[in-house]
Every structure is written in C-alpha cells, then in structure tokens.
Amino acid sequence: MEKLDLEDPLPDGAKTIGIIYNLKKGEGVNTYDDEAEYDSIDTINAIKAALETRKHNVILLEADKALPEKLKNAHLDLAFNIAEGFGGRSREAQIPAMLNFFGIPYTGSDATTLCIALDKALTKRLLASYRILTPGYALLSYDSPIKALRLKYPVIVKPNAEGSSKGITDASIVRSDTELINLLNRNFDLYHEPMLAEEYIEGREFTVGIIGNGAGMKVFRPMEIIYKKHTQEDFDVYSYNVKQNYKEYINYRCPARLTAKQESEMVKMSEKIYNILGCRDFSRIDFRMSSDGNIYFIEINPLPGLAPDYSDYPMLAGFNGVSYNDLINDILEAALIRTGAGNRGVFAI
C-alpha cells in the first residue's frame, strides 16, 4: 500500500483518496461471466491517473479480507468506491457499511440504496408505487409455480441481483412455459439465486447518466443502443456477450434521436428515479421505448462501470462532451461537496 510522506504536504485543495475495488483475477470462477462486475487493473489505473491530474494522493485498496485493517491505517480524506463486494444481494453494501463504520466519507450511493437497486424486483416494486412504468415481471425461485404466471410472452430471464449483464445470454428470451422452465433450471444451477422474468419490450433501448446531487445534479442527454443485428432470433438483448463484443453488435448514438417531448420525459423520469432511490453522486439508468412511444424503466445501476472506452457511463459522458479525466474528478467533486470534505470548483459538464 502506498504511503503519504507527511513531510511533503499535498497541494492546496488536494486530498488523500483511496480507490476501493474488486479485481478480475480469473481464479476459481464457476461461470464465464463470474467476474463480470469486477474491474481490470487497467480501469483501476485509469481512475488513479485521472485523480492524480488534480494532484490528489491516490492509494489503491483492494476489497479483500484485509481491507478493514488497511482502512484503519490509510488516513483517507475520502474513498472512491467502485467495489462490488462478495456474495449475496447485499454485497454492494459491504464496503459502504464498512466505510460508515470507520467514519470515512466515500463516493457514490449508501448501503441502503445499493441494496435496493441491486435487487431488480424490489426496485421495480418500489418505483411502481410512484407510478414509474416498468414491464410486467415475476420473481421466480426453485419452487415458483410457473403456471401461475400472468406474463405475456416473449419474456426475458435474468438473475435478480446481478449487474453488468451477468447471467444474461444470447438465449435469455423465452416464448413458452416449457422454454421458461428449461432456462430457469439452467440458471438456477449456474447462479444459485432467484430469477427475474420480465416481459420483453419490443422497441428502442436507451441509457441515461446522472452526476451530482440536489441543485447541482446534471443529467446527460440519453444515449441510444442500436443493434447492428439481432442477438437472438428476432430479439435484441444487451447481453454479456454483446457487451464484450460491442463493436460487432452495437452502434451508439448520443444524443439519441428523440423528440423534445420524449427526451424531456426520459430525463425527468431519470431524475425522479434517482431521487426516489436516494442515489448519490452518479448513476446510470436503462430504458426501453415501445413502438407506441411508452418509456419503460428497466433497471438502474448506482455503481456503474467506469472502464474507459468500454463502459456505457464514461462512453455517454464522452458523447456529452465530458472527458474521462473530468468525469472521474466530477464524481469525486460531487462527493466532496456532499460530504463537506471540500469544494474547489464546478462540474466540467
């Protein structure tokens, strides 16, 4: 772990920042997408380099079992948290809860928001109570009675508490009870968690990025995900395989070709969702728009990927005129302002 030389003070306004992360290692994986949510060392180094452009002292802290001891000795001004945690639907809350315990301010949403948002069914249930439109869905476990479903086929099946398209394949769309049962049995064996079955919305796909808090919150113009070819028969699915090979399957358009009314509706819906869930500093929200113009909330990621030239969030920020270095520092600045740890300027956006 890097140590700060206390005899060499930081420049005015600079902070000691700890990047907390889970690293892809390719060891002991059970499925090809087992580490889908973890980061590569290239991403960690890109975030570090971005923060260092503002003269911050940056410490790398892998989220392993030794993290509590490392946190006690790191003397951080703030943690830049991108860790996914280990095991279970509450895993993304592990690091924020630990940071709260040690009294260390951090970037991003708190433990409660991360717990809710990772649970797709719970998020939909909560947002539906605020009249947010979302596709019909059912949460299915090993003993769920398939015949009792009141869903209209085709249906997309995905793990209920995973991100980065983990568990979403190029065969995730089913057309019948038989196909659903077969896919559920496969997924239960692989992922050992409940599955979300959701009515497939035929139409266009969008993602919206948000940065900041309160009056300082900014919403990026929506980015459309345009499929060059179908990923499964007549369907378009932003699967793990498609994300890994996006240049083969996807074109991105930002700003999306929407009417002023459609864009305004999508932006306002994004702001509403962000605030309902208590998101902080940054998030990304996915939508589908049906052929009749209805905008459906699909899911939210309050801990979006930050891999340069790959992850959707920095990609859409770039389309909106925000460089990678500025984006990373704007996320940090949002957290510094929110926590009172510093206020050195305004967002680059």
Is the distance from CB of 192 to CB of 212 less than 8 angstroms?
Answer: no
The pTM assigned to this predicted structure is 0.90
Q: In terms of domains, do 233 and 162 share one? A: no
CATH (domain of 328):
3.30.470.20
Q: In terms of domains, do 102 and 149 share one? A: no
Q: In terms of domains, do 235 and 330 share one? A: yes
CATH (domain of 189):
3.30.1490.20
Q: Is residue 349 part of a domain?
A: no
Q: In terms of domains, do 329 and 209 share one? A: yes
Q: Is residue 186 part of a domain?
A: yes
For residue 248, what pLDDT is reported? 87
For residue 32, what pLDDT is reported? 64
Q: DSSP code of 144?
A: -
Is the distance from CB of 211 to CB of 334 less than 8 angstroms?
Answer: yes
Among 108, 143, 176, the domain-final residue is: 108
Q: In terms of domains, do 211 and 182 share one? A: no
Q: In terms of domains, do 260 and 321 share one? A: yes
Q: In terms of domains, do 207 and 333 share one? A: yes
Q: In terms of domains, do 152 and 227 share one? A: no
pLDDT at 210 over 70: yes
Q: In terms of domains, do 221 and 327 share one? A: yes
What does 5-56 look like in DSSP terms, one character per residue? -TTSPPPTT--EEEEEE-B---SS-SSTTTTTTSB-HHHHHHHHHHHHTTT-
Q: Is residue 7 part of a domain?
A: no
Q: Average model confidence (pLDDT) for the chain?
A: 89
For residue 30, what pLDDT is reported? 67
Mean pLDDT confidence for 144-148:
71
pLDDT digits (tens, 9 = 90+) for 263-312: 999 999 999 999 999 999 999 999 999 999 999 999 999 999 999 988 99
Among 180, 199, 218, the domain-final residue is: 199
Q: Which of 328, 335, 130 lies closest to 214 in space, CA to CA?
A: 335
The parent domain of residue 37 ranges over: 16-108
CA–CA separation, 227 and 200 (whole Å)? 16
pLDDT-derived band at 5 (thresholds 50, 70, 90) equals very low
Q: Is residue 208 part of a domain?
A: yes
Q: Is residue 329 part of a domain?
A: yes
For residue 246, what pLDDT is reported? 79
pLDDT at 345 over 70: no
Total domains in the fold of the chain: 3
For residue 264, what pLDDT is reported? 98
Instruction: Tell me how far apart the terminal alpha carbons of the chain are, to the nearest angstrom.
Output: 33
Mean pLDDT confidence for 18-29:
82
Mean pLDDT confidence for 134-142:
93
- Between residues 244 and 347, the one the model is more confident about: 244
Q: In terms of domains, do 216 and 312 share one? A: yes
- Between residues 14 and 164, the one the model is more confident about: 14
Q: Is residue 8 part of a domain?
A: no
- Between residues 37 and 71, the one the model is more confident about: 71
